[in-house]
A and B are shown apart, each in its own frame.
Chain A
Amino acid sequence: GENVEQHPSTLSVQEGDSAVIKCTYSDSASNYFPWYKQELGKRPQLIIDIRSNVGEKKDQRIAVTLNKTAKHFSLHITETQPEDSAVYFCAASEGGGADGLTFGKGTHLIIQP
């Protein structure tokens, strides 16, 4: 089955700086890669996703890049703000949808004032 590795497990950045979280996956058939944000004590929520026919996708301060050859994808957050502090999860699935999603272990992003 699919295996998703996520790094780093904890990331501390100064407010206003950029943050990058990286994930690798094992199943070359995977074609859907979402990112979820989970604030402390809250539910995970989808923030951005990318499908295998696209190399990059942006939404305001967040972007995701995908390298299918190397089987890795990354989340980029620019101009970080205190409300970006949360745990971020990457995931991958073969079917293109929510069924069969395998999640990474998560990255705790800390924004230092």
Chain B
Amino acid sequence: DAGVIQSPRHEVTEMGQEVTLRCKPISGHDYLFWYRQTMMRGLELLIYFNNNVPIDDSGMPEDRFSAKMPNASFSTLKIQPSEPRDSAVYFCASSSGTFTGELFFGEGSRLTVL
């Protein structure tokens, strides 16, 4: 397996624009997580899915953020409208089950909002 695949790797956009980040988890993994990483706040869990169903979205900062997982092999994180404070590295990660523990991260999407 190629691991967790994220796109785009880098995104530069202007304030107010819509941003869509994409993720393909490892085949067979039941859990998918979206994290945001900044220097100030470290790694923050935004939302996670189990079997394509959102389980905990309490980390989503506000209504401008939304995430979907239409099938087992694809998820999106959308920010609309984007703001400069959304600039961060967004990681997608997948895991094979509650009791296995290990998170497999993608390479991340570095977002810069001007």
- Residues of A at the B interface (CB closer than 8 Å) are 32, 34, 36, 42-46, 49, 89, 95-106
Contact A99 B42, beta carbon cutoff 8 Å: no
Interface residues of B (CB under 8 A from A): 31, 33, 41-45, 48, 50, 55-56, 91, 93, 95, 97-103, 105-108
A to B CB contacts below 8 Å, 17 in the list: A34-B101, A34-B102, A43-B91, A43-B107, A46-B101, A95-B98, A97-B95, A97-B98, A97-B100, A98-B31, A98-B98, A98-B100, A98-B101, A98-B102, A103-B44, A106-B42, A106-B43
B100 cross-chain contacts in A, Cβ below 8 A: 97-98
With A96-B98, A105-B41 given, can you name 18 additional A-B contacts, CB distance below 8 Å?
A36-B103, A43-B106, A43-B108, A44-B103, A44-B105, A45-B105, A97-B98, A97-B99, A97-B101, A98-B31, A98-B95, A98-B101, A98-B103, A99-B50, A102-B45, A103-B42, A103-B45, A104-B42
- Prevailing SS type, chain B contact patch: strand
